[in-house]
Amino acid sequence: MQTLTRLITRILELMKRYPGVIALGGFISGVGSFILVDRQQGMASWIAVIMLVSWLWLMLENSFTQLFTKLFKREIPEPLLRYATQMIHQESLFFVLPFFFITTAWNSGQSVFTGLLGAAALVSIIDPLYYKWLAPKRSLFLALHTFTLFAALLTALPIILHLTTAESYKLALGVAMALSIPSLAVSLPLRSVKGWAMLLGVTAAIGCAGWFLRSWVPPATLWMTEVAISTQLQDRTPGDDLKEVTGAQLRSGGLYAYTAINAPRGLDERIYHVWKFNGKEVDRIALDIHGGRKEGYRAWTHKQNFPADSVGRWQVRVLTEDGQVIGVLRFKVTDTAQTDNPK
């Protein structure tokens, strides 16, 4: 037992001396998992499983420590528990960041979600912020805990269980709602029926906000590897990617919206190409994609039915079944007369 104590003490000293190493390890594991998913290797699933097992330990921390004390007649050193919790937060946040950075549509509300993840990751590696500002505020600490687990589930569930993005989001949101209850219970008076009603109401409000703001959450394991707006498509390969087209080109053969989407091996997903003209939706076309191809699953829509007056700004928004944005293709239709008959 003395040997174990010395080993624990040594580990704590190293963690105090090199706090950034844990975060770096989490980031490297995240990048490694991202590369493994991209290359269709099963090791990414094992990394994701390890992350979720560590979270299971963290959620049952009190029970495990009590069992350890009962069996070995010794208490786990408090500093070890504190640093273990910080390590799991660091590992989890830096594990998911590579996925969310690559899948975020930065000119949308998704930048807010990924920005919050980045801020949480910084707080987890800055000891004065983590221990003096965050940890003493129990409700805020549990909020970070829940937010981190939500992001980890969004990343891990499609890899491990091959759940669709929509299924993963619903399950992750449900778990986040359940875990928000202890956080809220710290701040709300639960000595009356009114207090419990407030607790349930706020929990439901969190769930509703998470659902209605789902378009602000990047689909962690879906990203576009190649896109094009083109008038031609041959052998699953698009022609030149166009940023401007004329009305004459639209009428002669329509337009192809081409997207190659990377997804984890074994994942079957339904996505949508939503064609929008000057901000208004004019067409929504469903596509079924299959994960596992390194270059991404190639899918396209061919639109031929355009309004008589099509001059203006167009978008093709690529969405999951629940409305999360995978990416946006933009192009502009110019006036045929001015383009074809310049003065």
pLDDT of residue 40 exceeding 50, the answer is no
**Final residue in a domain of this structure, among 176, 191, 216:** 216
* Integer Cα distance of 92 and 236 in angstroms: 38
210 and 298 both lie in a single domain: no
Q: Are residues 166 and 262 in the same domain?
A: no
Quote the radius of gyration of the chain (alpha carbons, Å).
25
Residues 71 and 190 in one domain: yes
Dist. CA 177–CA 180, nearest whole Å: 5
Quote the pLDDT of residue 153. 85
3-state helix, strand, coil in the chain (%, to 5): 55, 20, 20
Q: What is the pTM of this model?
A: 0.76
State pLDDT tens for residues 150-209.
Answer: 888 888 888 778 788 889 999 989 988 887 776 666 666 667 777 778 778 888 888 898
- Looking at the structure, tell me whether residues 198 and 92 fall in a common domain: yes
State whether 274 and 296 are in the same domain.
yes
Question: How many domains is the chain partitioned into structurally?
Answer: 2
> How far is 290 from 333, CA to CA, in rounded Å?
32
Please identify, among 216, 237, 268, the residue that sits at the C-terminal boundary of a domain. 216
Find the CATH number of the domain harbouring 330: 2.60.40.1930
Q: In what order do the strands lie in the sheet with 255-262?
A: 223-230, 255-262, 297-303
State whether 267 and 187 are in the same domain.
Answer: no
What pLDDT was estimated at residue 119?
A: 94
Are both 128 and 36 inside the same structural domain? Answer: yes
| pLDDT above 70 for 77 | no
CA neighbor of 183 nearest in space, from 214, 147, 159, 222:
147
What is the rounded CA–CA span in Å between residue 305 and residue 322? 26
Domain stop point among 193, 216, 239: 216
- Whether 233 and 212 map to the same domain: the answer is no
- Rounded to whole angstroms, the Cα distance separating 123 from 117 reads 10
Condensed to tens digits (0 to 9), the pLDDT of residues 233-269 reads 988 889 999 999 988 888 888 999 999 998 876 678 8
Q: What is the dihedral of CA 29, 31, 32, 36, to 10 degrees?
A: 140
- Write out the residue range of the structural domain in which residue 122 sits: 2-216
Q: Residues 99, 172: one domain? A: yes
Same domain, 122 and 79: yes
CA–CA separation, 105 and 9 (whole Å): 45
125 and 274 in one domain?
no
Q: In terms of domains, do 208 and 228 share one?
A: no
